[in-house]
Amino acid sequence: MIQNMQFDLSADYIELCNLLKLLGLADSGGRGKAMVAEGLVKVDGLIEHRKTAKIRSGQEVSVGNCTIKVN
């Protein structure tokens, strides 16, 4: 089952590893970085390897069966 989530930015951007941690998809920032390094995270449909990629409003992040729409 696909889980859809929404995240509302309070700044211009959020770093990818921090987004994963804040939404509970990673137990820690370190685990979030490891998930990115392992190729488990997609941004706008493409695998993202930059752990601190700047995620901005309008982007979509996917991890496993979870999709996050960033506003």
pLDDT digits (tens, 9 = 90+) for 53-65: 999 999 999 999 9
At position 25, the amino acid (one-letter code) is: L
Residue 2's pLDDT band (cuts 50, 70, 90): confident
CATH number 3.10.290.10 given to 3-70: yes
The pTM is what?
A: 0.92
Q: What sections of 1-71 are H helices per DSSP?
A: 16-22, 29-37
* Domain range list for the chain: 3-70
What are the tens digits of pLDDT across the range 14-55? Answer: 999 999 999 999 998 899 999 999 999 999 999 999 999 999
State residue 32's pLDDT score: 93
Burial class (CB in 10 A: 0-12, 13-18, 19+), 44: exposed
Most distant CA pair in the chain, distance: 31
State residue 29's pLDDT score: 85
DSSP for 5-23, written as a single string: EEE--SSSEEEHHHHHHHT
